A and B are shown apart, each in its own frame.
Chain A
Amino acid sequence: MLLQIKNLHVSIEGKEILKGLSLNVNRGEVHAIMGPNGTGKSTLASVIAGRDIFSIDGGEILYKNNDISGWSVDKRANEGIFLSFQYPVEIPGVSMVNFMKTAINEKRSYLGQDPIPMPEFMAKMEEKKQLVEMQAKLTNRSVNEGFSGGEKKKNEIFQMAMLEPELAILDETDSGLDIDALRVVSNGVNKLRSSNNAFIIITHYQRLLDYIVPDFVHVLYDGKIVKSGTKELALELEEKGYENFKK
Chain B
Amino acid sequence: MDSSEDKLINELANEEYKFGFVTDVEADIAPKGLNEDIIRYISAKKEEPSWLLEFRLKAYRKWLTMKEPHWGHLDYPAIDYQNIIYYAAPKKKNLANLNDVDPELIKTFNKLGIPLEEQKKLSGVAVDAVFDSVSVKTTFQNTLSKHGVIFCSFSEAVRNYPELVKRYLSSVVPIGDNFFAALNSAVFSDGSFCYIPKGVRCPIELSTYFRINAANTGQFERTLIVADVGSYVSYMEGCTAPQRDENQLHAAIVEIVVMKDAEVKYSTVQNWYPGDKDGKGGIYNFVTKRGICKGNNAKLSWTQVETGSAKTWKYPGCILKGDNSVGEFYSVAVTNNYQQADTGTKMIHIGKNTKSTIISKGISCGHSDNSYRGLVHIGKQASDSRNYSQCDSLLFGDKCGAHTYPNVIAENNSSILEHEATTSKISEEQLFYCNQRGISTESAIGLIVNGYAKEVLSRLPMEFAVEARKLLSLSLEGSIG
Contacts and interface: CB of A to CB of B under 8 A. Distances in A.
A24 to B, nearest CB: 23
B2 A74 contact: no
B451 A73 contact: no
Given A51-B432, A91-B451, A102 B2 contact: no
A49 B443 CA distance: 19
B434 A163 contact: no
Contacts of B443: 102, 106
A102 B435 contact: no
Interface string A108-136: 00100000000000000000000000000
Given A106-B439, A163-B437, A94 B432 contact: no
B451 A74 contact: no
Contacts of A103: 434, 437-439
Interface in A58-93: 72-74, 77-78, 82-83, 85, 88-89, 91-93
Contacts of A94: 447-448, 451
Contacts of A78: 438
Contacts of B50: none
A52 interface: yes
A31 interface: no
B454 A91 contact: no
Interface string B419-456: 00000100111101111111111010001101111100
B4 interface: yes
Contacts of A49: 436
B331 to A, nearest CB: 16
Nearest to A82: B436
B99 interface: no
B447 A89 contact: no
A211 interface: no
Given A89-B433, A102-B443, A163 B451 contact: no
A107 B438 CA distance: 6
A163 B429 contact: no
Residue of B424, B439, B453 with most partner-chain A CB within 10 A: B439
A91 B433 contact: yes
A169 to B, nearest CB: 10
Interface string B1-18: 011100000000000000
Nearest to B449: A93
Given A52-B4, A102-B447, A92 B437 contact: no
Nearest to B428: A53
A163 B439 CA distance: 12
A99 B430 contact: no
Interface in B216-233: none
Contacts of B451: 91-95, 98, 142
A73 B432 contact: yes
Given A52-B4, A93-B452, A72 B433 contact: no
Contact of B437 (A50, A77, A142): A77
A83 B447 contact: no
A43 interface: no
A159 interface: yes
B426 to A, nearest CB: 9
A83 to B, nearest CB: 5
A122 to B, nearest CB: 18
Residue of B3, B424, B447, B454 with most partner-chain A CB within 10 A: B447
A172 to B, nearest CB: 16
Given A93-B452, A93-B454, A142-B451, A83 B438 contact: no
B432 A91 contact: no
B394 to A, nearest CB: 10
Interface in B437-480: 437-441, 443, 447-448, 450-454
A106 B454 contact: no
A89 B433 CA distance: 7
Interface of A: 49-53, 72-74, 77-78, 82-83, 85, 88-89, 91-95, 98-99, 102-103, 106-107, 110, 142, 159, 163
Closest 5 CB pairs of A and B: A93-B451, A73-B435, A77-B438, A94-B451, A89-B433
